[in-house]
């Protein structure tokens, strides 16, 4: 680290200013943060950069979720700044989401001065030990002069291969240190392309199949890539099942759409996977949920022939040993597939028709239970499906309420589904806020359970402060529904720790300055939703649902 005495006034800057210059050079236009004294020099440098929007969340976990959602929407690293110790531990949820969702994210964390490292100083954490298992790269910047180099490497690491999170620790004295001005480095992402020699073998295997199934997933699907993939499916007429919470890559209205490989999976879809003689997995890791706990495809060698295309070579063969492995980022994989000449005749057309029909049957909203009271969530989601424009962005966290959303809402365009594949509660509201800031001209809806919403309700203040006019739908059934469902299966009638005593959600939202209404029936929802969308500010609709209707098919008979 250069000392102050060796730096001329003409060329002097500070580590904090170098860092913000590096962000600007790498195209950053927005950062999410909760301020902390450990990175005051960065905050001061941001003051001079009006081209970077600084969004201040009320909780570090929410700030990290906002940055992760921004990374999903843009394909560029979402940027989050938090202070050391508690700030970093709170923000770790965003890093874990980014890892499992393959989202580019850079978390900058304040750190104690270098002279105090290793002494367990106030709020000191060893970030390499803490984040090493869930981040692609963790580094402490201990020399201010290396900031441009290491920030550029962080951007390249977060976006290359399988995208993911990077964590950079920032000791206080490095940020305040005087150092020579230096041009900010820019390191482009490295996107792997397929081996062209694989195309003939790929086409041959597909053409010889009788019951092929495409499993689609992964991150960073642009509009052009999704269009190329759709053209391939149209030409070949192959059935498509989307991996867990990756439904927005392929238009769910298409006749080839077979459904969603999700929690509470359609049994007929599960049977379709088992019956397939060839699986073409594109972009997806073929994780636990999409494979029904690794039972629909059994590792290491599934009964079905397997062609696996993925951006990261390390994922090819990690769980499943494919018959044909192709390393390729989504855009180049889709272009390869689109270029495959379709056969003159297809042996699987009836098979594809069966797949589309089973999804159409599954998507019909069932009648509520005869004793049900309150809002029928199936009818609410069906209205959203009819009313929302194709480019609307829908965000959610985790909970049984999401089963209705993912089953009855049809996603149409890429980057319109913000939902954590790691099942993190509380994600929906911060993600929706980030989405509305990124796309202020589009409708953004957060669907949240009552327990999920209560993880970060204070972020309504962030939405009001920064003009993020999201519509929040809170599904209030007075319990942690997913846990209650499993509890009733294993310990029927023995309710423990799963009841919720909720606040008045409408009064809470009004106290922040949001528009808010309580909805007591499905019939009242369309008009209330229209008023919420027209409010011109953040809006919350509380839906009182029957706690006994635990899923679209399941009813808790013993619940009072």
Distance between CA atoms of 283 and 246, rounded to whole angstroms?
A: 10
Residue 8 has pLDDT above 50, yes or no: no
Question: Tokens 């299966």 appear where?
Answer: 489
Residue 324 confidence (pLDDT)? 97
Q: What is the mean pLDDT of the chain?
A: 93
Residue 354 confidence (pLDDT)? 96
Q: How far is CA 113 from the centre of its chain?
A: 34
Residue 122 confidence (pLDDT)? 66
Task: List pLDDT tens digits, range 167-214.
Answer: 999 999 999 999 888 888 787 777 778 888 899 999 999 999 999 999
Write the secondary structure of 20-78 as one string of H (helix), E (strand) and C (coil). HHHHHHCCCCEEEECCCHHHHHHHHHHHCCCCCEEEECCCHHHHHHHHHHHHHHHCCCE
Task: List pLDDT tens digits, range 108-155.
Answer: 999 877 776 667 766 678 888 889 999 999 999 999 999 999 999 999
pLDDT above 70 coverage of the chain, percent: 96
How much is the average pLDDT of 462-477? 97
- Tokens representing residue 466 in the block: 């920064």
The pTM for the full model equals: 0.95
pLDDT above 90 coverage of the chain, percent: 84
Residue 472 confidence (pLDDT)? 98
> In 3D, which of 467, 479, 430, 460 has the Cα closest to residue 540?
460
Residue 385 has pLDDT above 90, yes or no: yes
How much is the average pLDDT of 448-458? 97
> In 3D, which of 400, 384, 424 has the Cα closest to residue 519?
384
Distance between CA atoms of 128 and 137, rounded to whole angstroms?
A: 9
Residue 559 has pLDDT above 70, yes or no: no
Task: List pLDDT tens digits, range 71-80.
Answer: 999 999 999 9
Residue 53 bridge partners (DSSP)? 30
Residue 558 confidence (pLDDT)? 64
> Pick the residue with more confidence: 498 or 93?
93
Distance between CA atoms of 294 and 516, rounded to whole angstroms?
A: 43
Residue 306 confidence (pLDDT)? 98
């Amino acid at each position: 680290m250069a000392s102050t005495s060796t730096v001329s006034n003409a060329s002097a800057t500070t580590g904090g200013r170098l860092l913000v210059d590096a962000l600007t050079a790498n195209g950053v236009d927005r950062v999410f943060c909760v301020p902390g004294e450990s990175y005051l020099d960065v905050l001061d440098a941001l003051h001079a950069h009006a081209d970077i929007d600084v969004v201040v969340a009320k909780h570090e976990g929410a700030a990290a979720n906002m940055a992760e959602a921004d990374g999903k929407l843009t394909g560029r690293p979402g940027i989050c700044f938090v202070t050391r110790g508690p700030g970093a531990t709170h923000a770790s949820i965003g890093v874990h989401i980014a890892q499992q969702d393959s989202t580019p994210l850079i978390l900058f964390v304040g750190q104690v001065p270098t002279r105090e490292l290793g002494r367990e100083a106030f709020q000191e954490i060893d970030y390499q030990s803490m984040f090493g298992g869930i981040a692609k790269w963790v580094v402490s910047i201990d020399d201010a002069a290396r900031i441009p180099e290491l920030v550029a490497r962080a951007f390249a690491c977060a976006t290359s291969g399988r995208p993911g999170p990077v964590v950079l620790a920032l000791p206080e004295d490095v940020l305040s240190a005087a150092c020579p001005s230096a041009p900010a480095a820019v390191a482009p992402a490295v996107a792997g392309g397929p081996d062209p020699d694989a195309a003939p073998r790929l086409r041959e295997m597909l053409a010889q199949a009788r019951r092929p199934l495409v499993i689609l997933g992964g991150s960073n699907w642009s509009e052009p890539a999704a269009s190329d993939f759709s053209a391939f499916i149209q030409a070949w007429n192959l059935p498509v099942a989307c991996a867990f919470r990756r439904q927005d890559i392929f238009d769910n209205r298409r006749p080839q759409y077979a459904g969603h490989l999700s929690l509470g999976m359609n049994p007929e879809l599960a049977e379709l996977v088992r019956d397939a003689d060839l699986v073409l997995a594109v972009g997806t890791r073929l994780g636990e949920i999409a494979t029904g706990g690794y039972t629909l495809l059994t590792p290491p060698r599934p009964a079905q022939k397997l062609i696996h295309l993925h951006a990261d070579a390390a994922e090819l063969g990690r769980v499943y040993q494919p018959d044909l492995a192709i390393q390729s980022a989504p855009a180049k994989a889709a272009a390869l597939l689109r270029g495959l000449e379709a056969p003159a005749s297809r042996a699987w057309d009836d098979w594809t028709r069966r797949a589309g029909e089973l999804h159409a049957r599954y998507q019909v909203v069932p009648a509520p239970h005869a004793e049900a009271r309150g809002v029928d969530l199936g009818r609410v989601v069906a209205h959203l499906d009819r009313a929302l424009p194709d480019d609307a962005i829908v965000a959610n966290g985790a909970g049984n309420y999401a089963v209705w959303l993912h089953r009855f809402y049809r996603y149409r365009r890429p980057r319109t589904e913000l939902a954590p594949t790691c099942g993190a509660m509380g994600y929906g509201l911060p993600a929706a806020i980030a989405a509305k800031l990124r796309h202020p001209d589009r409708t953004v809806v957060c669907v949240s359970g009552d327990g999920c919403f209560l993880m970060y309700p204070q972020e309504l203040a962030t939405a009001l402060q920064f003009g993020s006019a999201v519509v929040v739908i809170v599904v209030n059934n007075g319990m942690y529904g997913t846990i209650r469902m499993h509890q009733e299966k294993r310990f029927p009638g023995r309710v423990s720790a799963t009841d919720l005593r909720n606040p008045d959600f409408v009064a809470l939202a009004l106290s922040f300055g949001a528009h808010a209404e309580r909805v007591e029936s499905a019939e009242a929802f369309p008009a209330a939703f229209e008023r919420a969308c027209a409010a011109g500010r953040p809006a919350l609709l509380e839906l009182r649902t029957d706690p006994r209707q635990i899923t679209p098919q399941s009813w808790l008979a013993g619940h009072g």
